A = this chain, B = another copy of it.
Amino acid sequence: MSDPIEFYYDLSSPYGYIGAHLIEDVAARHEREVLWKPFMLGAVFKEEGTQPLVFYPKKGAYARHDMARTARLHGLPLNFPEKFPQLTVNAARIILWAGHQDQAERKRLSLAFYHGIFGEGHDISDKAVIRNICETHGIDWAEAEAAMADPAIKDQLKEETQAALDRGVFGAPYFIVGDEPFWGVDHLPQLEKWLESGGW
């Protein structure tokens, strides 16, 4: 099988939510595996000297408008959460723990968390919200809560974030095929053209 599609995302990103729904279709059309790689976007912003889109006055207003427009275009519900951006570190730890070596499980839980945040507008930094999503998806809450506090899982998320930085990731969603990087939902058509043609 050819190179997989590395998909770098943070649960706090609305474009990540949209990208998570689109990337599997792109991958399926070209028989590629998707590697689901949650990381901490905040740490990357800090290193790059940037900040969340919505913090910029004009770019932020545009981004909110465009996120809603782009979600509608793809038939995805978008209920922008009142609290934004959200602290997603605990949810990311659960994804890494439950989907340790299981991409399908990472995908399943990521879409469940994304749906909670952007489909339903919940606050994923609230443990009661995480618990509800876990229990709805057959994840044992006592085990999940232990995993969130597990130093090994915490370290793993830090390492994954550092690995993303080392790969040049500066935003999300971010896709890499082989050594070819594609940033943003808007770049998925170019990524797909790349898969079709082998590059240009």
Contact = CB atoms under 8 A, between A and B. Distances in A.
Nearest to A181: B62
Nearest to A55: B49
A193 interface: yes
Interface stretch (A32-40, A110-118, A120-128, A183-191): A183-191
Contacts of A184: 186
Contacts of A193: 73
- Total copies of the chain: 2
Contacts of A69: 190, 200
Contacts of A190: 69-70, 73, 186
A50 interface: yes
B200 A72 contact: yes
Interface stretch (A91-99, A132-140, A146-154, A163-171): A163-171
B186 A65 contact: no
A102 interface: no
Interface residues of A, number: 30
Contact of A62 (B73, B168, B189): B168
A43 interface: no
A49 to B, nearest CB: 7
Contacts of A50: 56, 59
A57 B48 contact: yes
A176 to B, nearest CB: 11
Interface of A: 47-50, 56-59, 61-62, 65-66, 69-70, 72-73, 165, 168-171, 181, 183-184, 186-187, 189-190, 193, 200
Given A48-B56, A48-B59, A66-B187, 17 more contacts: A47-B57, A47-B58, A50-B56, A57-B170, A58-B168, A58-B169, A59-B170, A59-B171, A62-B168, A62-B170, A62-B181, A62-B183, A73-B190, A73-B193, A186-B186, A186-B187, A186-B190
